[in-house]
Copies of this chain bind each other. A is one copy, B any other.
């Protein structure tokens, strides 16, 4: 942290700031220029807010030097982390594809979709049993029944399962059925839930909040990592902006930015990132071209009958052609699918 004193700060105010810094266990390093005095705070600044210093008399501003995250940081862990799930590795040159319906709706729907995505080359099956819905009048998911169907599909098609958990109480239950626990966008800063999945020691797919910064995403990962759970996969899924032509704005910049800041694998969700099935293929290609370690894509055999997110779901044949296109782009950037 650097503390910038006001132009007219008095010697007493400077001494007061130094005393405050030392009372917190840090060392202070003074630099007195012509215009103003600057004080460096020596030590691990992460637990302290710049606010604290800005309220001291004579202080104009305090500026962080270090990123506020540590365990998620590439400084702390320079090598790429690889998250292993039942023989599948996320975070290697192979681009991993997770696919399936937004919601589990019935055995028939799930099995048909699982067969199709397996056939097209997906590595992991996604499907929602507990659904966060803006409206209390919308379909809320099949709950336990949905988990059982996911398990059935998992066993039949040998596809690991990723599914969302929405509440700390449900973590133990969902963990019995799922290979990867998904934290949805709206729950990215549900800290009770982050603690609970951190405790569980299972792989976690952490989706970026639709109006969360990249730094906040890494701080949310830090909550999980701080429980010693190393298997965290991040996911960019679009942010909320002023543009209304698409449901969200897929933040393609976030992919290389995250890859430079953190060792954790980074996935892309072009289905939520656009909200329109016609845009899924170009954004999937773009995400892989930009360096994404994997994709998560919504697929439904009859989107017009989907109980949620039909507009952004691909039919199986379109999903298959999308994967073929992604494969060519992956090869162009030295990767496989």
Contacts and interface: CB of A to CB of B under 8 A. Distances in A.
A303 interface: yes
A240 B211 contact: yes
A187 B209 CA distance: 12
Interface string A317-337: 000000001001101110000
Interface residues of A, number: 103
Contacts of A30: 31
A84 interface: no
Contacts of A304: 20, 52, 55-56
A192 B167 CA distance: 6
A138 B47 CA distance: 6
Contact of A166 (B56, B191, B329): B191
A333 to B, nearest CB: 7
Contacts of A219: 134-136
B252 A241 contact: no
B168 A169 contact: yes
Given A250-B252, A251-B249, A274-B253, A46 B286 contact: no
Contact of A290 (B47, B166, B286): B286
Interface centre among A75, A213, A309 (most CB of B within 10 A): A213
A253 B290 CA distance: 14
Nearest to A303: B55
B246 A249 contact: no
A255 interface: yes
Interface string A115-155: 00000000000000000111111100000000000000000
Interface string A264-295: 00000000011000110011011111110000
Contacts of A169: 168-169, 192
B137 A46 contact: yes
A147 to B, nearest CB: 16
A51 B311 contact: yes
Contacts of A31: 29-31, 38, 40
A62 B186 CA distance: 26
A6 to B, nearest CB: 10
Contacts of A254: 243, 245
Given A167-B168, A329-B333, A333-B329, A243 B214 contact: yes
A240 B279 CA distance: 22
A82 interface: no
A310 interface: yes
Contacts of A22: none
Nearest to A34: B42
Given A166-B191, A186-B190, A253-B274, 11 more contacts: A29-B33, A36-B65, A38-B40, A69-B135, A166-B190, A240-B242, A249-B249, A253-B273, A256-B278, A289-B329, A328-B332
Interface of A: 2, 4, 7, 20, 27, 29-31, 33-36, 38, 40, 42, 46-47, 49, 51-52, 54-56, 61, 63, 65, 68-69, 75, 132-138, 166-170, 186-187, 189-193, 209-216, 219, 222-223, 226, 239-246, 249-257, 260, 273-274, 278-279, 282-283, 285-291, 303-304, 308-311, 325, 328-329, 331-333
